[in-house]
Structure 1
Amino acid sequence: MAEFFDQKADGEPGLALFLNAGDPPLDVLADLVLMLDEAGVDCLELAVPFPGSVTDGPVIRRSHDRALALGVGLDEVLTFIADVRPRLRRLRIALLADWSYSIKSRPLAGAVGDIAEAGADGLLLHALPPRVRPAFYQATSDAGLPIVTTCYHKVSTEQVMAEAAANASAYLYLVAQYGRSGTAPADGYADLAGTIAKLRVDTAVPIAVGFGVKTRADVTTVHALGADAVIVGSAGVARVEEALAYNRDVVTEFADFVRSVHPAHTLA
């Protein structure tokens, strides 16, 4: 589904932002999502919160904890998506769910069907065991639900990269740095170009790069290396955390953050 990120006539990259459902609370999040739609953000990578994530840094782990403390789980997130999705004009929602915490206890085809029916535009299933992948690919295909696949720069084997490229139908998430979210490659992003070019041979879907992308300069740098889109996570979640801690308006604070990283906005 190569249209997941709108094609930009001026060559700008697509922009995806990560947030945990429930951080901010869902009623505030609804207003924030509508703001993202108005601001021209392409994709919200919306996570079902789960505890003890080994791939997330402290900022996102605290976000998981705040959302879980409010009782937000898969059912609540699907209800949220079903309510907000019809009000969006362009923003797409890619649901991120952890296999063990949110999906494993449910019939796979039923869970995938529920996610598609709620209105999610794509699904990224975190920590999906290799033995389950064929059934997952079949279930999402049957439900007409595009999927996000992932691979790691410098770490993923040729086989893993080929499978990710072959099965991505929403976008392919290339993780720039093996480690925890919020960390950027110590040597910068320059050598991503070769990995992006290699993946490009085997997939027609957008290639989105994330981990450590925090500023507009990072967005511009990654796009110049061949990425179709960038994913910004910890930096935005930190702005939510700060707004909540100081009792500031989360939507206003996050709108300022969007303007600071979105390549189409003019910096003041």
Structure 2
Amino acid sequence: MNNNINIGHPTSKDHHSKKLNIYFTAGIPKLNDTIEILKIIQKSGADYVEIGMPYSDPVADGPVIQKAHEVALKNGMTIAGLLGQLKSVKNEMDIPIILMGYINPVLRFGFEEFCKECNDSGVSGLIIPDLPPVEFEKNYRKILEENNLNFIFLVTPETSDKRIKYLDSLSSGFLYAVSSSSTTGNNTKEINNEEYLDRLSKLGLKNPVMIGFGIKNKADFESVTEKAAGGIIGTAFVNILMNNEDWAKPAEDFIRSIQN
């Protein structure tokens, strides 16, 4: 079990050193597939795994991942169920696990209890896009630190330099740089927004930057990681899980194709 998100700032343009984070929604295609998917992601050479906690109104996500949330909820996936699955396999996982979700179901679960359970289940960090940073600082930061959990904020091309530095100061592990203002999975021409990536690289940020939203293949991954520590792939991977009855081999082949 590896609870440490240690990405490090990129020191060269060696793409083999760029970190790959694979996202999928817990509870798809079937309720109990999560563990097998986790093991495939680890075996295939990804550096991190980001697991979506299903929610009925995933506003930051595009139609593919929205559909995945819907399927997962119909399958009966819950936060408690996911944490139980993770706990059962935590001693077999060597790559950090990050949970991505929305604040309402976490508050219903109980924030402090949720963080304790995450720590017990081998989770390394959280991404909660709709948790305001002021609330994070005031009410939640200490709880996360007490439970050895990183917290990762998102920035976009429209985020001001001042706010980027503020969110970077609150984040640990890495800073999640959304490649455009769209939702996940959109076909955006901003995937290689050089001005944006240049701006991020020149801000002297505390955390390494991981780029997400819209990365579909090796070419996209190499393009966005020219000036970032790594990339996050979600929609393209979720599509494989959702659209292939025998998804295990295509999922493994896809991950291997990104960095090989």
Considering the TM-score relative to the shorter chain, is it more than 0.5? yes
Contact (CA 8 Å) 1:123, 1:146: kept in 2 or not?
yes
Match of 1:88 among 93, 101, 119: 93
In the TM superposition, what is the alpha-carbon distance from 1:183 to its structure 2 partner? 1.9
Residue 3 of structure 1 aligns with an amino acid whose one-letter code is: N
Percent identity, please. 22
Matched letter for residue 231 of structure 2: V
Cα 1:180–1:187 shift into 2, 3 Å: closer
Aligned twin of 2:58: 53
- Of 107, 111, 126 in structure 2, the residue corresponding to residue 108 of structure 1 is 111
Which residue of 2 is the match for residue 230 of structure 1? Answer: 231
Shift, 1:88, TM fit: 1.7
Give the TM-score normalised by the residue count of structure 2. 0.89
Among 17, 20, 24, which residue is 2:25 paired with? 20
What is the one-letter code of the residue matched to 1:257?
F
Report the TM-score, using the length of structure 1 for normalisation.
0.87
The DSSP-based 3-state class of the residue aligned with 2:153 is strand
- Residues 82 and 118, structure 1, Cα contact 8 Å, conserved in 2: yes
1:71 and 1:209, CA in 2 relative to 1: closer, same or farther beyond 3 A? same
The 1-side partners of 2:56 and 2:40 are apart by: 28
Q: How many residues align?
A: 253
Counterparts of 1:219 and 1:181, CA distance in 2:
15
Give 5+ residue unaligned stretches, structure 1.
Answer: none
Kept in 2, the 8 Å contact 1:5–1:229? The answer is no
Tell me which amino acid in the other structure corresponds to 1:180: T
Question: Residue deviations 1:45-85, cap 9 Å, x none?
Answer: 10111112222111111100110001111101111111122
- Residue identity in the other structure for 1:22: G
- Cα-Cα RMSD: 2.2
Distance (whole Å) between structure 2 residues aligned to residue 211 and residue 150 of structure 1: 11
2:152 alignment partner, one of 139, 148, 151: 148
Q: Which of these residues, 132, 136, 140, is aligned with residue 136 of structure 1?
A: 140
Q: Which amino acid aligns with 2:78?
A: G
Partners of 1:26 and 1:7 lie apart in 2 by 37
Cα distance in 2 for residues equivalent to 1:6 and 1:198: 12
The code of the aligned residue for 2:146 comes to: D
Runs of 5+ in structure 2 lacking a partner?
Answer: none
Preserved contact between residue 4 and residue 92 of structure 1 (Cα < 8 Å): no
1:183 alignment partner in structure 2: 186
Deviates more, 1:137-146 or 1:156-165: 156-165
Distance in 2, Cα, partners of 1:145 & 1:51: 25
Find the aligned partners of 2:5 and 2:100 in 1 and give their Cα distance. 19
Q: How far did residue 28 of structure 1 move?
A: 2.4
SS at match of 1:236: helix
1:260, 1:5 → 2: CA distance?
23
**Matched position secondary structure for 1:65:** helix
Q: Partner of 1:214 in structure 2?
A: 216
Shift of 1:21: 0.4
Moved more, 139-148 or 1-10: 1-10
Larger relative contact order (CA 8 Å, sep ≥ 6): 2
Q: In the alignment, is the contact (CA less than 8 A) between 2:45 and 2:255 conserved in 1?
A: no
Q: 1:28·1:251 contact (CA, 8 Å) conserved in 2?
A: no
Runs of 4+ aligned residues of structure 1 deviating over 4 Å after TM superposition are: 4-11
Deviation at residue 184 of structure 1 after TM alignment: 4.4
